Structure formats: structure tokens, C-alpha cells
Amino acid sequence: MAEKAMEPYEIGELDHYLYGQGNHYEIYKKLGAHLVQKGKKKGVYFAVWAPHAKSVSVVGDFNDWDMEANPMERGEPLGIYTCFVPGVKENELYKYCIETCSGEYIFKADPYANYAELRPGTASKVTDLSRLKWTDQTWMENRKKWDHKKAPMSVYEAHIGSWKRHPGREDEGFYSYREFAKEAAAYLKDMGYTHIELIGIAEHPFDGSWGYQVTGYYAPTSRYGTPEDFAWMINHFHKNKIGVILDWVPAHFPRDAHGLADFDGTATYEYADPRQGEHPDWGTKIFDYGKNEVRNFLISNALFWIEKFHVDGLRVDAVASMLYLDYGKQDGQWIANKYGENKNLEAIDFFKHLNSVVLGRNPGALMIAEESTAWPMVTGDVEHDGLGFSLKWNMGWMHDFTEYMKLDPYFRKDNHNLMTFAMSYAYSENYILVLSHDEVVHLKCSMINKMPGLGFDKYANLKAGYAFMMGHAGKKLLFMGQEFAQLREWSEERELDWYLLAEKEHLAIQNWVRDLLHLYKQNKALYEMDQDWRGFEWINADDGYRSIFSFVRHSEDGKKNLLFVCNFTPMERADYRVGVPKRKQYKLVLNSDDEKYGGTGEERPVVYKAVKKECDGRPYSFAYKLPPYGVAVFEF
């Protein structure tokens, strides 16, 4: 007998097969709640995966939360429950009432919902994503040709709820997605950033988790508006030539009763054995990467943000916690793999699948790993047993850099290698240098308050550090507020201290960062050979006694190169001589002693001619008056 004709939104045998194989990359178009028309009736088609449930019904505003009003039909072989409820309209709240094997009734938010009730409410909300409007076609076409290895990439990491707030409002005063987009896009363009990375976007119940404990993987948080508002924000950034990266958390999820934990009364999304399925330190659940439906949930989610919402990349959080079975665990709290090792073979396989699909389908998109160990080939090709990421956060550089910068200048001569070591492994991965939110919370101090000394010394130290970072090989990321030397640690509970810009020291740091960013964007030498040893050359990596670093960044065509000289002590070097590669003229293009950067404003020559005089093991050199904590950048 012929199978009855199916509506396009209904879940059929092919959907079950692909989802069961872990290859239904657009399953979000079928699972969840979708406004449809069935015959002459308009309503919502609900679909949820609950393999071990005895029964499932959908409850909500539309049926007075009656558990018996709208039972769902079980589809085999996977246990996907579906039903059509006529008359349900947009913005109505709903949940799934799941009868577990033990006969208990639990109420769960929809794992595939695209919108959620504002916390403390925990229900899902019916919404229609078919209305999203896009005018960023030029950006999306150009993205296909974009090569992150050859392009400038300076990222502003931001949290919408604490960037700026409306004062005096009864609610928290959050900026909406649209308000944030307008102000932030103008600010980023002025400062010279190429990308914004947003934390805390997927729906989460607790503000203090900063969005790293997610309950709504397919829903932009309702704190700042609707999914349409979120799409408007992305579109606006793109119109202003700013790429958008989202933090993405496939490592773990919280235990909240309405979330994914024990979804159908059993370990549905997580490993069943607590030694595999729980993070003791974080109190969270670990996804079961061996289950095809769970892998599908996550891979489809990555594609959802990149394809449905035009997001340009995902920064994947806590990659190390996924790769190591014993991450954050004591003996007896974890189970070795079949070879007796601590590698999570299922997570490794998941990453290879994820990155191959996401980057294969979306040329020019980015997958960025926050991986804190020396795991090999994180950005290596999957074909050669790499994990296939586009970029890796350089946590080693970050740690060494912050340790050095915190030192009293007197002790820096004995720790000179902290600043040079990263270049010994700089080409082992495609790196991005990061000074992220993690470095300015939990009593770690803001960047300015990590600096030793008082007054002038603190600000001059920070200027030298930022210049060194901008000259070093690798893409760049800086967390919001650090570009103007925010004094207090970051807190999600308040806006940044923008009032500090009324003080000349903070304005000077902002001017310095702005000009560094524009110098970076305008000079190919600073980015096009980040993954090529020919792009970076030490002039003197061993001047530990004076704590001065000098190096050259080369462009591919050799036409416009930059020489950096950075002094990390309060000692003036009235006649500092630097060796140079060629007998050329060297033009001073950035000088930290300029008045607008908080320097003395002393007049000095713009052009310096190299003479035949040996220095730093080179036949040519020139002399320059290097101020305390001075930075000079020369073009040649």
C-alpha cells in the first residue's frame, strides 16, 4: 500500500535515518516548534526526541498547561514525538510534559526552541524564523573568498549586558540587540577592529554563568530582544564590515530541571556513567559524543548559527575538557578509553566531523578552539589526523605574557624568555593571541592593575605590552574595557566604566590602542605571513639586561616592513642603537612618547638613516632616543 503523502514539515523515515546516523545537518528545521498550515488550519507542529519516554504531551498557554490536552505520537525507531496543535500563535509559551519510565512527569523546555521566556521563566516560546530579513549579500559573497590566514583579524570580545546600560531604568537597563549593534558597530569602526566576539548569546538561566551554561542552544537569549532583533544586529555589523563570532559551548550543560539534563528521565544527551558524564569542578553534565543523535544536535547547532543567522565563526569553549577524559578529575572519577589512555576518542571524532562539515559547507567561516594544552595539530587538516580548527587560542603566550607584565621591571631581566618563548612554537598551529574576559575576573585584576608601579609607570607598561602583542605573530583578541584601561575587574552585573575616558591617562590608552589597531589593519606585514616563519624576524631577542625587544615584521612582497623596538624598563636610553636588515631610511610611524598617548611630546626626527655600523650582529644600524617604557615602530 502506498505511503500517505507527507507535509514538508513532517518527520518521515528519511529524517529518522539521517538523524540516527548523525548526518541530518538541518534537523532544526524539523525538530522544535514550527508555525505551519495543515489543510485549512494554521497552528504549530511540535517535534521532540525523547527515546526512553513512556509518553510525551505538549503543554502551554494554548491549552492551560493541561497534560492530557495535546498528546504526541511516537515515531520509530528513534522515539521522536510529534503533534500538530491548531490555533497556536507566535509568542505563546510551551513545554514538553514527559512521562518517564518510572511513571514520573517532568516538564522540559524545547531543546530546539528558537526563543525562550525571559528568566526567571523557563518555558520555550513559539517564534517564526522565516521572517528574518538580510541585506548583507555582499558580505556573505565576500566571505566565501576570505582567507583568515592572509587577512587582518583583530577581535573585540564583548558581553552585551555589561558593555553599556541605560541608567535609571526599573529593569536591568540592558541595551537591546539593535541598540548595541548601532553603538558597538560605530565604536569598533572608529577603533579599527575587524571582528566582534560575543559571549553569552545562546539562552542560559543564570547571568553569573556568562552564558557558559546553556539551556537553549538554538535560541538567542531573550535578555536583549527577539530572534529578529538578533538577526538585525548581525546584519548591521556586516553592513559596517565587521565580522561576528559567537562563543559556543559543546563541552557541557547545566543540571537545571527544565534543561537537557536527564531529558526523558534518563541520560539522553549526556553519558550515563557519572565518571564520563559529569564535571566535578563545574557541577555540569558532559555531552555523550558517542551518540549519533547528540553529535547531530551539536553539529546542526553550529550550522544553525552560521547558516541561519549568518554568524562568521564560532569560538569553541573548553576544548581541552572534551579531549581529555580525566580533565578536572581525580583518580577513580574517570574511565580510560579502550587503549587505557585519557584521550576521549569520541570527542576527537566529533571535532573532525564538526569542522569538516561546518567549514566544508561554509568557506570563509571560522572554527576557533579555546584549547589550553599542547594537544598536537588542533588546527591541522583532518586528512592528516588534525582536529581541523581554523585557529587556536594561544594560551601559552597569554600566560607567559601576563606573568612577565606583572613583574617589577627590575626582575624582568631574569625572565626575558617569557616574552620570546612563544616564537619558538608560533608556527606549530594557526594562533590567535588573546587577552580575554578570563584574564580580568576572579581576583586576577584588570589589565592596567596587573601592571607594576604607580601612576605613569602602570599606563606606560600597558602601552608597551599592547604594542608587543600587536607586533607579535598571530591574530589578536582583547576583551572590552581593556582598550581604555578599565580599572575594576569585569562584572556581568554592571556596565563598563566609560566615565574613565574623561581622564587623560585612560583616553591616552584608548588613543594608543586605536592607532595600533589601524596600523595593524593597514600594514600587510603585520598579518599576511602570520603562519610563515619569513614573516617575523628577531633583531635582538637577547637584550635581557636592558629588557628591550626589537624585531621586524615582513610583508610578502618586501615593500613595506615594520621594525618594532619595545623598552620594558623605566630607564631612558638616550642613544639606543638598533641593528637593521638593510641600509635604508627608517620612518617613525608610531611613537609612544607622543603627547596624545600620555608621553612627553618631545620633538624628534621622523626619518632615520641606517649607517654602516655593526650592531645586533648586523652591518647596519641607527640610533634613536628610547624613552622609559618607550615603544617605537619604524617603516622601511
CA angle 249, 253, 257 (to 5 degrees): 150
DSSP 275-336: HHHEETTTTEE-B-TT-HHHHHHHHHHHHIIIIIS---EEEETTHHHHHBTTTT--TTS---
600-618 burial string, b = 16+ CB within 10 Å, else e? eeeeeeeebebeeeebbeb
- Looking at the chain, how many residues does it have? 636
88, exposed or middle or buried, with CB in 10 Å at 0-12, 13-18, 19+?
buried
The CA distance from 198 to 201, in Å, is 7
The CA distance from 143 to 137, in Å, is 10
Residues contacting 558, CB < 8 A, separation 6+: none
The CA distance from 404 to 412, in Å, is 7
Contact 482, 436 (CB under 8 A): no
546, exposed or middle or buried, with CB in 10 Å at 0-12, 13-18, 19+?
middle
Q: In three state form, how does the secondary structure of 450-488 look? A: HCCCCCHHHHHHHHHHHHHHHHCCCEEEEECCHHHCCCC
| DSSP strands (E only) in 297-438 | 313-316, 366-369, 391-393, 431-435
Contact 296, 26 (CB under 8 A): no
CB half-sphere exposure, 231, CA atoms < 13 A:
20
Q: Which residues are catalytic?
A: 317, 370
Q: Can you name the residues that pair with 432 across neighbouring β-strands?
A: 393, 475
Listed residue (118, 54, 122) closest to 94, CA to CA:
122
Q: Can you name the residues that pair with 631 across neighbouring β-strands?
A: 566
Maximum pairwise Cα distance, the chain? 94
